[in-house]
Structure 1
């Protein structure tokens, strides 16, 4: 990230600039590679100057988690608009995977235990409500929403986290001929959705 002005003077840092640089570093090197020293090098700044904008490394990691969660929520909410029930759950599921594949290290960050639970869960409300709308529209009673939403998330996260971590490797290789990861994910979605939606009939 460049922080020099056109006049050759170092631009003034603020929290947004620090956070954007941290996100760029995470995207490139991974969440665990983020340190105040590596971030200072990214910004061509002194480590001490970073503490004018974030309290410490944990505070910075919390900001990354919160923004990643908020962004995921915005993605799934936008994708789910105009859909309902099982169709909406499938659409939401595909957007969930798309976000994780496009932002694997930020996805890994937001699925770690939250550093700032209050801010994190506030940021998660958009994604939670998008999922709840789909589940409600499938006919489930209010008392079933939380359990059903958690089960759907657990199923999707199980596949997606393995995929973005590289666990499946090259599924077109000689050890797994003909395996289509998209088809596998569709099967995961089918299991998650059919486990939720039939309950509406009872």
Structure 2
């Protein structure tokens, strides 16, 4: 089913419409499946008309990464507000997982090597600052913030990326019925403990 077929050949496309349609395709088919041809079909437009709004496929994918990163940043910043230290890290961790589960394909896109590094890291400031505030409020010295923040994110991302990729499959029938929520809680505890150990050092 195409998106808003009154657009496209009638000349009503703009960049926002193109990007929203591209995000629908990414959500449905995956980041790697996105092509200018599939996007034109989704918009009931000519491929050539899309180039009035994005330079090429690489530019389109870069914009999707940036928008996904900005969206994640807003999500984790809102979740972290009013929290600090270990409690804040846990709130941020659950927000990261929630975003990835709600938007698995966009999460996969934003964790790829950034195409437009400057725009991507500018969009990442909310997420970076939210994590830094939580780690800083745990008492970590400034010269350890980046390294510890990366370690925390790597631990969380390891679980979340495996989960949204379907790696864990259906574990409900395994011995003891594995509780993935509890597994993630243990991952968070490990990340929080690591940050606390860095603080004590």
Q: TM-score range by the shorter chain?
A: over 0.9
For the residues of structure 2 that align with 1:129 and 1:81, how far apart are their CA atoms? 12
Gaps of 5+ in 1: none
For the residues of structure 2 that align with 1:106 and 1:146, how far apart are their CA atoms? 24
For the residues of structure 2 that align with 1:148 and 1:97, how far apart are their CA atoms? 19
- Conserved? CA contact 1:3–1:10, under 8 Å: no
Aligned partner of 1:104 in structure 2 is 104
**Cα shift readout 1:130-171 (whole Å, capped 9, x = no counterpart):** 000001100000000000000001000000000000000111
- Conserved? CA contact 1:40–1:47, under 8 Å: yes
For the residues of structure 2 that align with 1:69 and 1:77, how far apart are their CA atoms? 12
Aligned partner of 1:2 in structure 2 is 4
Superposed displacement of residue 3, structure 1: 3.4
Q: Secondary structure at the match of 1:31?
A: coil
Matched, 1:191 2:190: yes
For the residues of structure 1 that align with 2:4 and 2:88, how far apart are their CA atoms? 41
How many residue pairs end up in the alignment?
A: 198
Aligned partner of 2:35 in structure 1 is 35
In structure 2, relative to structure 1, the CA distance for the partners of 1:43 and 1:176 (3 Å cut) is: farther
Aligned partner of 1:85 in structure 2 is 85
Q: Secondary structure at the match of 2:32?
A: helix
Gaps of 5+ in 2: none
TM-score (normalised: structure 1): 0.95
- Conserved? CA contact 1:139–1:200, under 8 Å: yes
Aligned partner of 1:165 in structure 2 is 165
Aligned partner of 2:180 in structure 1 is 181
Superposed displacement of residue 11, structure 1: 5.5
Superposed displacement of residue 177, structure 1: 4.2
For the residues of structure 1 that align with 2:63 and 2:200, how far apart are their CA atoms? 42
- Conserved? CA contact 1:171–1:177, under 8 Å: no
Aligned partner of 2:136 in structure 1 is 136
TM-score (normalised: structure 2): 0.96
Aligned partner of 1:147 in structure 2 is 147
Superposed displacement of residue 70, structure 1: 0.4
- Kindly report the root-mean-square deviation, in angstroms, between the aligned alpha carbons of the 2 structures: 1.2
Q: Secondary structure at the match of 2:168?
A: coil
